[in-house]
Structure 1
Amino acid sequence: MNIFDLLPTEELSPNAQKSLEELSPSFVESLSFEQAQIVFKATSWFDKQFNGTKTPREFQLQSTVATLSGQNVVVRAGTGYGKTMAMVLPLLLGDQSKIAITISPLKLLQKNHVHEFEQYGIKTVQINEDTPDDKNLWKDIAQGVYRNILVAPEQFFRHNGHLPRLAFIMLTSRAFVKSIGFLNCDEAHMIQTAGLPRRGEEYAFRPAYGKIANIRALLAKDTPILVLSATLPPPTLYTVLGSLRLDPDQTLKILQPTNHPNHFYAVHELHGSISNLKNYNFLIPLYSNPTMPPKTVIFVENREATATIARHLRKHFPPSLQTDRIVAHLHAGMSPEYNDEIYNDFMHTDKISTLISTSAASHGINSPNIARIICVGAPCDEITMLQMFGRGGRTPTLETVCLVIAEPWALTTEESDKPSAREKRADPGIREYISLKTCRRAYLAAKDGDTSPEATTFLGPHCCDNCGRASTFDPAQLFPRPFHTQKATSDGETQSQSQPSTQKKKDNIPKPKTRSRTEHDELRQRLETLRSEIAPRLDYAWPESYLLSKKHIDTVVLSPLDAIPSTAALVKLLSENSEWAEDVAPSVFEVIAAHDADLAARKAEAAALKRPVQQHSQSQAEYSQQLYSYNSSINLNGWTHEDPAARIAAQEAKDASKPQKSKKPSKAKGKRKNTSTLSQHDSGDAGPSQTKRQRTRSPSPSPSNTQPRVPRPKPRQRTNGPVEIDKELYSSI
């Protein structure tokens, strides 16, 4: 006799009755009558909620029965398999005066859960740093108005000397603590990946996840805890149980198969860094036959790279498909309003086909029609990678590509001679997966401890890129364009296929005029001031750093003076979209133009203040007429004036009347005489063969061969005795 024969199963739809009959005998036989009533109520609720189209899964019933019996439970099930319902059913079928505390890591995931719980009639609130300081809201929370409270673990612990509001309520309100009947820990793998230091790191990313056991100490002793995750391989499972101080023997472990039969796994090499935009050209639709690409999520562990990649793809999409948001980016640094808008457009509309995101979206995107998941750069560990893969293929019949574009160092298990910081942090398991030469699906099943027959089944024509190689299958056939690769040159080096093998020599083009370092700092300061002033004037939900990022400012500051003649040139230089061009670009261009105008005015003013050096226009003979020398016949305070021309002529006559003396060449012991050597004064180059004596005492040139030498004026001298002044000469001077 079946225990359900004692219950009014005839009230259920045929589909619900069939689901009860298909429950495993071991589970049915373990049920008491009270537990069988819970199973019946859960099945009846499903039957009414979904009009007989859906029935609860057996693991959901097992978890609900154990939780309502006060037992601690661990549920491991794949993404999209219904783990949330294991949290919903105890609240619907249990004591209605009890509330649940659900620990959830991300705001986006919290928001999804709020919508899902309230859809089933459970009043839910999320608490994080964005929760308003509303007295009525916090009064309702303390009085148990909300049956489910979604909260991050950081809200239970003091931070920078500040005690969060929820932690204060738990410490001061005994009634509130007694009302807590369930503690749910969603995405429990975060206890290991975020609550403990990763490989190569000294501190944990989110240490509050490692202290959840302290929260249990505040609750009643019989409060059950429900631990849920899609990625709990055996080592991680026992790490989580140890951190929560749960006895593995006293905890019910429900471990469901995590294989996704509709997933296709592949790996490709990343050429250069993640900033090499050629690595993403394989996602650009063909211009000859532009069709809307399927829903795609690209994960990149760099916030600035998400915006750069999105702009690149959006810019190169065919014109018929280009819109401002055909490709969008998302990460935790954006404002909640922006993230909500992008998330809703991606989930519920066709405005966004490709989403570039950090790991912030690896727990929050639950769209059923995502067909391509791409991880750029080797993930830090297998758990993070599987969480990203779990965003795709939630519709069981939708074949989904799960691609990792990994750095060259990740393609081998051997550590590099000079490993980068990213390589040092990478878990050895992720390198094993990426460098694998055998079936990737079988490897993941073995690592997860999944020995069920369904662990290695697949729906598509191929299991993974390794299995497909036997039939000459190329994963690039799943994308509109081929992957970016490198080919070997004659000297053994690699060269990008998209570049020509021979490169032309650069012409000697004059360098454009640029700003000085001081002008760089001044323009940068003006743009940073504009950034802080422009954000309040716009309706954007973007933070200031994304209206005008540091990279944008650096690009503008380092550009040549004539590189931005118009607003259109500014938009093209920064590769921005039309929305930014309309709202932000005019203000930025106005600041740049004003700065360059001020700079030009200052340079013109400085040039006008500089007096030009006056060049003397007189000849040497004319200028010599103004020289003064001493003459005893004409006295002027001891200084006299003499006609220089007359003095020069007299000196030449005196020199001509003197006989020329022939000097004997100097005798150098052991050296050959050299009488033809010119002096340094005549030749301009003494030559290395001359001795020091020859260079200093060379024969004087003949007066007939040289120009007359103008003698220097004699030094000024004073006369002895009284000084007579020639007033006539003085007045002429």
Structure 2
Amino acid sequence: MLPLLTQSERSKAVTEPEYYGNPVSRDHLEAKIYQRTGFTARQFQLEATLAILAGHDVIVHAGTGSGKTLIFAAPHFVLDNKVSIIISPLILLQQDQQNRMKKMGLNAIAINQEVHLEPEVWNDLASGKYQIVLLSPEMALYNEKVGKVFASTAFQKALIAIHVDEAHTISLWGGDFRKAYKGLGRIRARLPKGIPATIVSATLRQNVKNDAMATLGFSSNPLDYVDINIGNERTNVFLGIREMKFPASSFKDLSVLIDPDETNTFNIPKSIVYIDDINSVTLGVITLNSWLHVSLRKHGLIMPVHAWMPASYRSNAMAKFASGEARILICTEAAGMGCDIPDIKHVIQFGLCRSIDALVQRIGRCWRASDGTGEGWLIAESWAWDGKGGATGATSRKSADPILRGLITERECRRKYLNRNTQYLAKIVAIYATQNQFPALPTARSQPSQDQQEQQL
């Protein structure tokens, strides 16, 4: 058996590791992945999996929808009776990944406050019977029962890796919002020495990557870890930026999503609208629903999703959206992270979001199907442009993400601007040189009159 390696030994690791005397070749791994999933593995998935099997810490920077989840599962296609921990930020994402793992034939479990686990399940966890254990950093750090599982001899012997999914959240949420993210290193310190860690995200700017590496205790020597960066290019998704023409509270800039004469549910393009204010989410749903044809207003076609809602509701809303029963989600970050819905035609960020990383992540949820195209739009307040909004606008601009503001005001090539300022290497989307060259949203439709709106409400 090839032992899991310490950081100082990792640079000497062989490319094709052995477990229990059986060589794990690239061809063997590729065949096993195809056998379990029906898909041919991509090169970066094979490289990351082999690196994990060799005991390396791994960084994977790959676009949304590129298949990063397979990296968590693939080691278990060649190793029996082993366990991987996945740190996952949202209950919805944990549930989605649990379902995906089960479809690949793995015994997976999500541990969160929404589920009650019987004593025998905790015993099974401690004995290493679950191959995939999904939980939040808070649950991993502070839950007493989880701590006992992690300390179990059987669990520690079975453990082969700890993965941090959506690792950009370490920087994005690791302050006062979710302090446990800064404590991920303490989780790793409680695990057996030499257990490799994997950092995975579609948005790993250098400072974000450095923060994640420091938090997880990665070596500063590049020979001690494997850094895989395939970029996050989405050439089938167009990015447009436009200034709000109406007050944000009216939501009139979103009227392009609704044809008031349309009576066929499935002619309404599947869309996600992100609004970074929970109260505005609810008002947005009410307003857009009032613009639907009267025959469609009671069908639940437009649904709100945010963190204050029960996980059961959020899960149900995402399921309805995935099936097409719901056509438009208006939501905060609580929806969409890691979701695998291939046919989202429009993703709109309504109002300037907190960071360029948040924008790229959200736009990346658009149109993951292999054919066709989608559109991602940032509809920003007027103050985001220099010289607008008076003193209040100037104050707001100072507090905004400077890279995001630069993207808005860039007049030459936004694609080059992103690569230069984010080190994404790539091109989140096909970005055109000026706003006039963006693919156009549908022409804004006329609004119902005040009398019509009152009748509709």
The two structures have a TM-score, normalised by structure 1, of 0.55
* Superposed CA offset, 1:53-109 (max 9, x none): x31111111111111011111001001111111111112213x23211110000111
Q: Aligned partners of 2:191, 2:17: CA distance in 1, in Å?
A: 29
Instruction: Specify the SS of the correspondent of 1:56.
Output: coil
Instruction: Kindly indicate whether the alpha-carbon contact (under 8 Å) linking 1:125 and 1:146 is maintained by their aligned counterparts in 2.
Output: yes
Q: Aligned partners of 1:372, 1:313: CA distance in 2, in Å?
A: 15
Q: Aligned partners of 2:153, 2:392: CA distance in 1, in Å?
A: 56
Instruction: Kindly indicate whether the alpha-carbon contact (under 8 Å) linking 2:33 and 2:77 is maintained by their aligned counterparts in 1.
Output: no
Instruction: Specify the SS of the correspondent of 1:256.
Output: strand
Instruction: Specify the SS of the correspondent of 2:47.
Output: helix
Which of 169, 178, 197 matches 1:206? 178
Which of 84, 102, 107 matches 2:69? 84
* Superposed CA offset, 1:92-133 (max 9, x none): 213x23211110000111011000111111111111112215
- Segment drifting more, 228-237 vs 75-84: 228-237
1:116 correspondence with 2:100:
yes
Q: 1:101 matched to which residue of 2?
A: 85
Instruction: Kindly indicate whether the alpha-carbon contact (under 8 Å) linking 1:265 and 1:441 is maintained by their aligned counterparts in 2.
Output: no
1:240 correspondence with 2:212:
yes
What is the CA distance between 1:322 and its match in structure 2?
Answer: 3.8
User: CA separation of 1:474/1:152 partners in 2, compared to 1, >3 Å: closer, same or farther?
Assistant: closer
- Written as runs of structure 1 = structure 2, the 5 A alignment for 1:427-442 is 427-442=401-416
1:40 correspondence with 2:21:
no
Instruction: Kindly indicate whether the alpha-carbon contact (under 8 Å) linking 1:38 and 1:93 is maintained by their aligned counterparts in 2.
Output: no
Q: 2:47 matched to which residue of 1?
A: 62
What is the CA distance between 1:390 and its match in structure 2?
Answer: 1.1
Q: Aligned partners of 2:446, 2:364: CA distance in 1, in Å?
A: 24
Instruction: Kindly indicate whether the alpha-carbon contact (under 8 Å) linking 1:310 and 1:329 is maintained by their aligned counterparts in 2.
Output: yes
Which of 319, 337, 344 matches 2:312? 337
- Written as runs of structure 1 = structure 2, the 5 A alignment for 1:598-609 is none
Matching residue's letter, 1:180: L
* Superposed CA offset, 1:286-325 (max 9, x none): 5289772211000011222222211211121123544421
1:347 correspondence with 2:325:
no
Instruction: Specify the SS of the correspondent of 2:348.
Output: strand
Which of 150, 174, 178 matches 2:157? 178
Matching residue's letter, 2:210: Y
Instruction: Kindly indicate whether the alpha-carbon contact (under 8 Å) linking 1:178 and 1:219 is maintained by their aligned counterparts in 2.
Output: no
Q: Aligned partners of 2:296, 2:23: CA distance in 1, in Å?
A: 56
Q: Aligned partners of 1:415, 1:308: CA distance in 2, in Å?
A: 24
Q: Aligned partners of 2:72, 2:262: CA distance in 1, in Å?
A: 50
User: CA separation of 1:288/1:109 partners in 2, compared to 1, >3 Å: closer, same or farther?
Assistant: closer
What is the CA distance between 1:134 and its match in structure 2?
Answer: 2.0
Matching residue's letter, 2:377: L
Instruction: Specify the SS of the correspondent of 1:102.
Output: strand
User: CA separation of 1:241/1:277 partners in 2, compared to 1, >3 Å: closer, same or farther?
Assistant: same
Instruction: Kindly indicate whether the alpha-carbon contact (under 8 Å) linking 2:139 and 2:146 is maintained by their aligned counterparts in 1.
Output: yes
Q: 2:333 matched to which residue of 1?
A: 359
Which of 255, 262, 283 matches 1:281? 255
What is the CA distance between 1:483 and its match in structure 2?
Answer: 9.7
5+ long unaligned stretches in structure 2:
1-13
What is the CA distance between 1:418 and its match in structure 2?
Answer: 4.0
User: CA separation of 1:182/1:37 partners in 2, compared to 1, >3 Å: closer, same or farther?
Assistant: closer
Instruction: Specify the SS of the correspondent of 2:345.
Output: strand
Higher relative contact order (CA 8 A, sep 6+): 2
Instruction: Kindly indicate whether the alpha-carbon contact (under 8 Å) linking 1:413 and 1:435 is maintained by their aligned counterparts in 2.
Output: no
1:310 correspondence with 2:263:
no
1:294 correspondence with 2:269:
yes
What is the CA distance between 1:176 and its match in structure 2?
Answer: 2.8
What is the CA distance between 1:164 and its match in structure 2?
Answer: 3.7
What is the CA distance between 1:353 and its match in structure 2?
Answer: 1.2
Instruction: Specify the SS of the correspondent of 1:262.
Output: strand
What is the CA distance between 1:221 and its match in structure 2?
Answer: 1.0
* Superposed CA offset, 1:154-192 (max 9, x none): 01334xxxx442124335x34333332210111111111
1:135 correspondence with 2:119:
yes
- Segment drifting more, 208-217 vs 393-402: 393-402
User: CA separation of 1:142/1:457 partners in 2, compared to 1, >3 Å: closer, same or farther?
Assistant: closer
Q: Aligned partners of 2:215, 2:388: CA distance in 1, in Å?
A: 32
1:191 correspondence with 2:170:
yes
User: CA separation of 1:183/1:483 partners in 2, compared to 1, >3 Å: closer, same or farther?
Assistant: farther
Which of 441, 444, 452 matches 1:478? 441
Q: Aligned partners of 1:176, 1:209: CA distance in 2, in Å?
A: 23
Q: Aligned partners of 1:384, 1:106: CA distance in 2, in Å?
A: 15
Decide which structure has greater strand share. Answer: 2
Instruction: Specify the SS of the correspondent of 2:234.
Output: coil
Q: Aligned partners of 2:202, 2:438: CA distance in 1, in Å?
A: 30
Matching residue's letter, 1:63: A
What is the CA distance between 1:38 and its match in structure 2?
Answer: 2.9
Larger Rg computed on CA atoms: 1
Instruction: Specify the SS of the correspondent of 1:360.
Output: coil
Instruction: Kindly indicate whether the alpha-carbon contact (under 8 Å) linking 1:377 and 1:407 is maintained by their aligned counterparts in 2.
Output: yes
User: CA separation of 1:480/1:439 partners in 2, compared to 1, >3 Å: closer, same or farther?
Assistant: same
Instruction: Kindly indicate whether the alpha-carbon contact (under 8 Å) linking 1:103 and 1:152 is maintained by their aligned counterparts in 2.
Output: yes
Q: Aligned partners of 1:367, 1:395: CA distance in 2, in Å?
A: 8
Instruction: Kindly indicate whether the alpha-carbon contact (under 8 Å) linking 1:195 and 1:206 is maintained by their aligned counterparts in 2.
Output: yes
- Written as runs of structure 1 = structure 2, the 5 A alignment for 1:508-587 is 575=457
Instruction: Specify the SS of the correspondent of 1:205.
Output: coil
Instruction: Kindly indicate whether the alpha-carbon contact (under 8 Å) linking 1:144 and 1:176 is maintained by their aligned counterparts in 2.
Output: yes
Q: Aligned partners of 2:412, 2:210: CA distance in 1, in Å?
A: 28
User: CA separation of 1:474/1:441 partners in 2, compared to 1, >3 Å: closer, same or farther?
Assistant: closer
* Superposed CA offset, 1:541-569 (max 9, x none): xxxxxxxxxxxxxxxxxxxxxxxxxxxxx
What is the CA distance between 1:138 and its match in structure 2?
Answer: 1.6
Q: Aligned partners of 2:186, 2:61: CA distance in 1, in Å?
A: 23
Matching residue's letter, 2:33: F
Identity %: 27
Which of 301, 307, 312 matches 1:326? 301
Q: Aligned partners of 1:208, 1:218: CA distance in 2, in Å?
A: 15
What is the CA distance between 1:421 and its match in structure 2?
Answer: 8.4
Matching residue's letter, 1:141: L
* Superposed CA offset, 1:656-675 (max 9, x none): xxxxxxxxxxxxxxxxxxxx
Instruction: Specify the SS of the correspondent of 1:342.
Output: helix
5+ long unaligned stretches in structure 1:
1-29, 197-203, 485-497, 500-571, 576-733
Matching residue's letter, 2:287: H
Instruction: Kindly indicate whether the alpha-carbon contact (under 8 Å) linking 2:273 and 2:347 is maintained by their aligned counterparts in 1.
Output: yes
- Written as runs of structure 1 = structure 2, the 5 A alignment for 1:650-661 is none
Size of the alignment, in residue pairs? Answer: 435
Instruction: Specify the SS of the correspondent of 2:235.
Output: coil
